[in-house]
Each structure stands twice: as structure tokens, then as C-alpha cells.
Amino acid sequence: MTRLEDSGREDVSRVLELAWANPELRMVVRSVSELGVPHAAVTSGAVFQSVWNGLCDRPPSQGIGDYDVFYFESDLSAEREQFWQAQVAAACPGIEVEVANQARVHLWYESYFGYPCPPMTHALESLERFLSPTCAVAIRMTRGGRPELIAPFGVTDLLAMTVRPNTNAAGPEHYRAKVAKWSAKWPLNVVPWESTAR
């Protein structure tokens, strides 16, 4: 799923190097793998903000509020999701984790974002709907015990600290709010929503 032809192997290796320098991220990624959370990966801010910190020569976990874990299984109950939340939280003491079954996102997405979301078919399908291509990154462990990067839009913008809108995402108000929050913490190159809106 990583578009190596768009970003190049050296860029992908650089992103992994910078992200993996965050010991909290390493702990969460390894824990979800060891616990057997189904089809799980650590996504979004936990990854791209670790990279931004590395690019800015800051402590690896600085400014990261929580670590999102996406997984996928057919049990859509809130109780099952809470089970995995508790398991991961116990394995990662002192780290704020948010564990979400992507198979049940369509049950709450519209009431939260105001836009419908069809049922997903795998754990990382939602990466393509993230507010910015820069955010659409995830890390999981391979069966061989190595970290693997998933980046459906490549990593060029991520390494350039450029945030541009994904017009397939929830909408301009959510994009602007997130950009304002991130820009208060990191020196970003921001592309306005209006410049790429349909």
C-alpha cells in the first residue's frame, strides 16, 4: 500500500527512521502486535507528528496527544472495542491510546462529522479519507517482526512538512481546525482548503 514509486525508498526509510525514534510509538506498535489485535496498525498523528518532531530536532513524542490504533474485526460491539482498548492501555502504561474498530466506524461517523461513511472493508481503508494526505500514514509490524509503513498518498508532503487538503475528507471546517492546532506546535507549510476545493 505504500506508494514507493511516488516517494522513493529512501524517503520511506527516512520516515520510518524518524517515526521509530519515538519510544512510545515503538511500544504501542509492538504491543498491538504481541497482543494479537486483529489487523492492527498505529496511525495518523502518532506517526506523522513523530516525523515532524524528528525533522525539527525535538523530543520524539513532543506534542503528541494520543496514539491511534486502528484494527478490524467482525464483532461490532462497543464492548469488544472496549476490551481491546483496555488490553492496549494496560500494555502501554503512561501512554494515551485510542483503539478503534474500523468495521464499526460507519455506525457513528455521520453523527460526528456530518457526512455519511460507507462500511469499511479493512483496517486502513479510512487513511484515504483523512483530512490531509500528510496524515494518511500508519505503522504495523510484519510477521517477521519489522516495522512496516503504510502511506497511500506517499510521504513527499510529510517530509516537506506540507499539509494540503484531501477533498475526499470530512470538510473545510474540520481541516481548518486541525491545521490551526498543528500550526501552533510545528512550523508547517499549509495549503488552504480553497486552493484545491472542487
What is the secondary structure of 36-55 as a DSSP string? Answer: T-TT-EEETHHHHHHHHHHH
pLDDT band at residue 7 under the 50/70/90 scheme = low
CA–CA separation, 42 and 72 (whole Å): 12
pLDDT score at 4: 40
pLDDT band at residue 179 under the 50/70/90 scheme = very high
Q: For residues 23-40, give the mean pLDDT.
A: 97
Cell of 149: 509503513
CA–CA separation, 34 and 30 (whole Å): 6
In the chain, where the domains are located: 4-195
For residue 21, give the DSSP letter: T
Beta bridge partners of 163: 190
pLDDT tens readout for residues 40-93: 999 999 999 999 999 999 999 999 999 999 999 999 999 999 999 999 999 999
pLDDT tens readout for residues 155-175: 999 999 999 998 777 678 888
Residue type, 79: E
pLDDT score at 197: 52
Over its C-alpha atoms, the chain yields an Rg (Å, rounded) of 16
CA–CA separation, 37 and 72 (whole Å): 8
